[in-house]
Amino acid sequence: MIPMLQASAGAEIFSRQDPVRDAEAEVRAIIENVKTKGDAALKEYTKAFDGAELSSIELGQGAIDEGFRRADPALVDILYRAAERISAFHQHQLRSGFQTSDERGVILGQKVMPLARVGLYVPGGTAAYPSSVLMNAIPAKLAGVKELCMVTPPGKDGKIPPAILAAARVCGVDRVFRVGGAQAVAALAYGTESVPRVDKIVGPGNRFVAEAKRQVFGIVGIDMVAGPSEILVIADDTADPQIVAADLLSQAEHDKAASAVLVTDSEVLAKAVQAALEEQLPQLKREEIARASIDNNGKIILAQSIEQAVEIANQIAPEHLELSVAEPFRWLNAIQNAGSIFLGHNCPEALGDYFAGPNHTLPTGGTARFSSPLSVDDFVKKSQYLYYTPEALSVAQETVSNFAKKEGLTGHARSIDIRFDPKVVGKS
């Protein structure tokens, strides 16, 4: 049964383990093997881990089109509808550069450019997640990424689920590769005979994928090192305990390491949610996973007030935060640390996973204290530029030169002063 705690325990009520680093040595060996052997290593790992023997790693356009045709038409319709909403939300994140100038002719600016090539990791194995394709590919394409390469592990027959291929086509993924795990991350980071080297890798995965992303960061960019899924529900006595329990279980069923936390000022609600969880768990297809998550990582925290509940939420900085209270907008600005915030009794976390529009790739493990959901910004880079006229440089000369000398960098100072040295200027 999910444990109940008093909020007086403060920040220590919630501790996190690092489930990623235990794979460090194994992942390092995989990366080195892929760097050395390229496609041969990818095929070896695919046979060993996925049970599939591949003649080629890249999936041709014909196979992608065939997967799209084989996908459930009802799902395809949902994918298009969801893609439209996700696109509409992320359109608001598009930004352009800027340029400023003054009367002396100084021009300063910044230009925004899309990344040239991005790798998208899509999990496989026990489940297929076309929603992950949508959430990662759509902002990349809106940003103007020139080539989007998707990697995903095949089934034992060497095929990719039609749902994944349908989502890839709906989003405009350019190339698809049948490889998963840490080896796929290594291939994207360093390139092989078949898989091109990318500029950035995005997308969720298991602890091996997460650790591989951590290790290749710096060779390529990454979106984040995502950990197990999290949900925190702040609820008052207006919340329905059956609904709160269902929302907690929606994340608990992801992974045995997932965490589901309720913070409430109502002991009556807390006990009712405890009972509702026990009632609903046997109804889940993934009961064993959800049970382990609830028993090992779940918590109900009794706060003295909703204000204190918000303080606790800010300490935990959850991936998903539901404000299941009578006046959710009253507390919105008080929430400082959360990946995505779901307001009111009619906004379950699952709505954000699939259809509402905001991105579902979110910071986990408390990293919402300093990082943000995946967005168009993750797929662009910026360069700044500056231009000075001779007059403008002369005005700045003494200030810049003195500043450089104060730092002991006389070469910096000289690069300014030499432009006004009559001996040098007279020769040009």
Active-site positions?
Answer: 319-320
Amino acid identity, residue 109? G
Show the tokens assigned to 359: 């991105």
Which two tokens mark 254? 């992801």
- Which three-class secondary structure string do you get for 319-365? CEEEEECCCHHHHHCCCCCCCEEEECCCCCHHHHHHCCCCCCCCCCC
**What are the strands of the beta sheet with 230-235, ordered from one edge?**
4-6, 299-302, 259-264, 230-235, 320-324, 340-343
Beta carbons within 10 angstroms of residue 43's beta carbon: 21
Tokens representing residue 306 in the block: 């909703």
Q: Which two tokens stand for residue 406?
A: 């104060």
Half-sphere exposure in the Cβ direction for 295 (13 Å, CA): 10
Helices (H), 1-59: 24-37, 39-45
Amino acid residing at 62? G
Half-sphere exposure of 322 (CA within 13 A, CB side): 30
Extract the tokens encoding 70.
Answer: 């084989």
Burial label for 108, CB within 10 Å (0-12, 13-18, 19+), is: middle
Residue 424 in tokens: 């040098």
Nearest-CA neighbor of 19 among 257, 198, 203? 257
The helix or strand, by DSSP H or E, that contains position 212, with its residue range, turns out to be: helix 207-216
Q: Which residues partner with 231 through β-bridges?
A: 260, 320
- DSSP state, 144? T
Please provide the size of the chain in residues: 428
Q: For the chain, percent helix, then strand, then coil, each to nearest 5?
A: 50, 15, 35
